[in-house]
Chain A
């Protein structure tokens, strides 16, 4: 466990010293929150609820988590491309120290993101004179953890299988796809048709649903529990897969 914490600390420190972490993991989602709020102020209120602050905040939290995926991939791929990981493979560290050490700091960053997004949303709500549930924001720190695990797992898989040039590119595809089919910037259900069918087949839509239901304190079966179960199940499967892929790759590297 000590080696895991030591490695997690190193990963967190390295990321915290990369300005891009702040730009993509914190600043960019906040900018999107502000821009979309301004868009919402400029469009007719009837029929368009996606950019209302209680919907938008949950969406932006999930949008931010897609960048956690990007940084997980970048971190793992960069380490694998250099000699530093070779040195650690020759040390008494076990594969669980590596996997947990990569995952833990990303979850911490995801939590920081939720807090930053929540605080920014509260400030905006005060400015606009709208109401936003503070307990809902706090609860997102718990209910959005499975989606953070899910995105971290995807980043982990990409970082393990691809190099530091390919992995971010693939993550960008997931960021774009996740934004669209996850219904972050529009109401996926209202689009219907093939797009909605695709949305329902991926976990991204359910991540967004959980975040939005939490902030509205809507803990009904349809809005919260079913999506949450799907997100948890997807996160468990993807994280299991990520760990297996990393262990196999590590074993192959050491053969």
Chain B
């Protein structure tokens, strides 16, 4: 099957007053790809994801999701993307099942879809528990489940395992690995081993600019360093990344 371009970004820029959060970003992501965006805090990863998911308007440049412009065709784009934000975005007083049914209805799906996602994400044992009573790992799992219930063609995962213990993180990796089989995923993370384990390609952003792009092997070859963490530190130091 021929794979199409899932995301095409041309000179995408976002400015907040004098500060340039994303600076002339150019990138293409293919359908079915798992792409990781790495960078220190304030590098522009989340701003990029916000623009691609129509949560923020670009200052200049353009971005297309499956050929649909994120600014001019936001309604169409919103129907084909799903997002799991840094914070767990769930309705705290609703149960797991109610949260999923709610999102299913918003995306024109039904309770059978909610049941399917509960099964796929292994949420059966907590389906009747209110979201506020869940542990961090379960909440994050629910948050991602809510992002995929509309069967998005592209899933944005913004630091999905932030603050989770190693076991909960590994559990989420398995789930993300399964999603990768049929969804294009854009992942931002601070955990190098996560990007290394899950990604097809990796982009490194420094001060709003995409300074390196490629597979792990390509990045290692370009930088002469072994392992993603070494690659990242080398690139960040070379490009003068400001770390808060």
A interface residue numbers (CB < 8 A to B): 2-3, 6-7, 9-10, 13-14, 17-18, 82-84, 86-93, 254-255
Contact = CB atoms under 8 A, between A and B. Distances in A.
A6 B53 contact: no
Interface stretch (B82-90, B205-213, B236-244): B82-90
A132 B79 CA distance: 54
Contacts, number: 68
Contact of B89 (A7, A18, A83, A254): A83
> Which 10 pairs from chain A and chain B are nearest by CB?
A83-B89, A87-B89, A83-B87, A6-B105, A17-B93, A14-B93, A83-B85, A90-B53, A84-B89, A90-B83
Nearest to A18: B93
Contact of B106 (A6, A18, A83, A255): A6
Contacts of A255: 56-57
Interface in B54-113: 54-57, 75, 78-79, 81, 83-94, 98, 102-103, 105-108
Nearest to B102: A10
Given A10-B102, A14-B91, A86 B107 contact: no
A6 B108 CA distance: 11
Nearest to A5: B105
A150 B94 CA distance: 28
Contacts of B87: 82-83
20 contacts: A2-B105, A3-B105, A6-B102, A6-B106, A10-B102, A13-B94, A14-B91, A14-B92, A17-B93, A83-B86, A83-B88, A86-B85, A87-B83, A89-B55, A90-B54, A90-B78, A91-B78, A91-B103, A92-B108, A93-B106
A4 to B, nearest CB: 11
Contact of A254 (B54, B93, B103): B54
A13 B106 contact: no
Nearest to A79: B91
B90 A84 contact: yes
A81 B91 CA distance: 13
Contacts of B84: 87
A86 B84 CA distance: 10
B146 interface: yes
A185 B51 CA distance: 53
Nearest to A17: B93
Nearest to B54: A90
Contacts of A89: 55
B106 A254 contact: no
Contacts of A90: 53-55, 78, 81, 83
B57 A3 contact: no
Nearest to A86: B85
A255 B47 CA distance: 11
Contacts of B102: 6, 9-10
A17 to B, nearest CB: 4
A255 B98 CA distance: 31
Given A82-B89, A87-B84, A87-B85, 15 more contacts: A3-B105, A10-B91, A13-B98, A17-B93, A83-B87, A83-B88, A83-B89, A84-B90, A86-B55, A88-B106, A90-B83, A92-B75, A92-B79, A92-B106, A254-B56
B39 to A, nearest CB: 20
A5 B106 CA distance: 10
B94 A254 contact: no
A3 B106 contact: yes
A100 to B, nearest CB: 14
Contacts of A93: 106
Q: Which of A9, A14, A84, A90 has the most CB of B within 10 A?
A: A90
A254 B88 contact: no
A14 B88 contact: no
B81 A84 contact: no
B201 to A, nearest CB: 24
A9 B107 CA distance: 15
A109 to B, nearest CB: 15
A82 B143 CA distance: 13
A14 B105 CA distance: 17
Contacts of B86: 83
Given A6-B105, A87-B146, A92 B90 contact: no
Contacts of A3: 105-106
Contacts of B54: 90, 254
